[in-house]
């Protein structure tokens, strides 16, 4: 009897072990799946929601309400090149998983773009569900009442502080008091970049300060890198990565120069109606991507990069152009129409937290 057990044990054990090893390999392959390299394919089952199902889309992203005549751009689905499972966004499943939890986007209007995309996608998946939308200063809170899920937006364009002093408005690269309201949130998605290159009247600061040194200006990429490092050390010391999902939205690209997508006659994204075919973008990546990646790579607490730059670079057709905030006289090739490209950023976010 004892001999039999031993014999069975000997025979079963290798089988058992190899099953575990195979399972582990499958898990490793799954978790290494690259969602960020791929191509856009036409899929009539997209978009995930009709614009009229989302009455709270803000004017600046509501391209169809603003008169954009073409709709082909809403019917593209992102297809990662690797044969990994990349699920369609399931709003009910997302709300169930996040029941009682809070999500916060922190950043500039590209964060607002992604926040609106998420609230639209979730609301349209359960249109009968009650919600409230409130705004207190720079904080917007969209609550799915029955689920107790809060989807928030903290408008904070530099992540570090801008303070008013006697000499003027000072951008303090090593001060991050605004971070207080990020505590206690279950899922954080940060972003900053677009405001670092602002100059002239739309630049919301007069001086830059680092330690005791005050500057009129400095290399903007350097300032961006220092501020990101300030943010990184705040995350390293104040966030418990076992309790909080941490993401960085990544660098959302603009389309103002057709040479970069091999169409030199195009001076902007106006009248672009289809994505760039294939998986690569002639113009390459904006330099800010490398700076961001180097800061994230050195962090003690891991922050997952939503590396959406390349997939969005391919979407020269996805911007409001003359159907955005300032209408026909404006030109917006930086933000994204909704429904549109940020829905895919959220689909990737969904697949990453599954």
Ligand X SMILES: *[C@@H]1O[C@H](CO)[C@@H](O)[C@H](O)[C@H]1NC(C)=O
321 beta partners: 332
For residue 50, give both structure tokens. 């009709």
Residue 154 appears among annotated catalytic residues: no
Residue 109 appears among annotated catalytic residues: yes
In the set 160, 260, 266, 308, which binds ligand X (CB under 6 A)?
Answer: 260
Decide: is 129 part of the binding site for ligand X (CB under 6 A). yes
What is the distance between the alpha carbons of residues 2 and 153, in angstroms, rounded to a whole number? 65
* Least CB distance to ligand X at residue 264 (A): 8
* Least CB distance to ligand X at residue 345 (A): 26
Question: Which CB atom, from 105 or from 147, has the smaller least distance to ligand X?
Answer: 147
Decide: is 259 part of the binding site for ligand X (CB under 6 A). yes
**Binding string to ligand X for residues 75 to 114, with x set by CB under 6 A, is what?**
----------------------------------------
Q: Is-contact 54 317, C-beta < 8 A?
A: no
| Helix, strand, or coil (residue 208) | strand
Residue 332 appears among annotated catalytic residues: yes
* Least CB distance to ligand X at residue 335 (A): 20
Q: Which stretch binds ligand X (CB under 6 A): 51-59, 66-74, 127-135, 178-186?
A: 127-135
Q: Enumerate residues 134-193 that contact ligand X by CB under 6 A.
A: 146
What is the distance between the alpha carbons of residues 303 and 311, in angstroms, rounded to a whole number? 20
In 3-state terms the chain splits into helix, strand, coil percentages (rounded to 5) of: 35, 20, 45
What ranges in the chain are assigned the alpha helix state H?
Answer: 2-31, 91-97, 109-125, 220-238, 288-297, 309-313, 341-353
Q: Beta-carbon neighbour count of residue 338 at 10 Å?
A: 29
* Least CB distance to ligand X at residue 145 (A): 7
Contacting positions for ligand X (CB under 6 A): 128-130, 146, 257, 259-260
């Amino acid at each position: 009897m004892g001999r039999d057990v031993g014999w069975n044990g000997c025979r079963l054990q290798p089988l058992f072990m190899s099953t575990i090893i195979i399972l582990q390999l499958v898990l490793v392959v799954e978790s290494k799946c690259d969602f960020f390299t791929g191509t856009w394919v036409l899929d009539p089952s997209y978009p995930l929601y009709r614009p009229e199902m989302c009455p709270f889309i803000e004017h600046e992203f509501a391209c169809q309400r603003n008169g954009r005549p073409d709709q082909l751009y809403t019917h593209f689905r992102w297809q990662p090149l690797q044969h990994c499972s990349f699920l369609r966004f399931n709003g009910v499943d997302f709300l169930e998983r996040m029941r009682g939890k809070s999500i916060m986007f922190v950043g500039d209007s590209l964060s607002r773009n992604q926040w609106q995309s998420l609230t639209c996608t979730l609301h349209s998946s359960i249109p009968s569900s009650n919600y409230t939308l409130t705004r207190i200063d720079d904080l917007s809170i969209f609550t799915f009442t029955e689920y107790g899920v809060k989807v928030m937006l903290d408008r904070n364009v530099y992540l570090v502080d801008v303070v008013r002093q006697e000499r003027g408005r000072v951008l303090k690269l090593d001060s991050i008091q605004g971070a207080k309201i990020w505590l206690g949130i279950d899922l954080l998605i940060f972003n900053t970049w677009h405001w670092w290159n602002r100059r002239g009247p739309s630049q919301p600061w007069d001086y830059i300060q680092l330690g005791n040194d005050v500057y009129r200006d400095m290399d903007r990429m350097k300032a961006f890198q220092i501020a990101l490092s300030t943010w990184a050390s705040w995350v390293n010391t104040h966030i418990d990565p076992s309790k909080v999902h941490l993401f960085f939205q990544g660098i959302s690209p603009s389309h103002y120069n057709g040479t970069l997508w091999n169409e030199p006659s195009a001076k902007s994204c106006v009248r672009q109606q289809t994505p760039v075919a294939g998986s690569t973008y002639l113009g390459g990546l904006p330099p800010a991507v490398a700076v961001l990646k180097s800061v994230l790579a050195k962090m003690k607490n891991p922050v997952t990069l939503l590396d959406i730059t390349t997939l969005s670079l391919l979407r020269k057709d996805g911007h409001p152009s003359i159907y955005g905030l300032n209408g026909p006289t404006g030109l917006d090739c930086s933000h994204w129409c909704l429904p549109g490209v940020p829905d895919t950023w959220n689909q990737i976010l969904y697949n990453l937290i599954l």
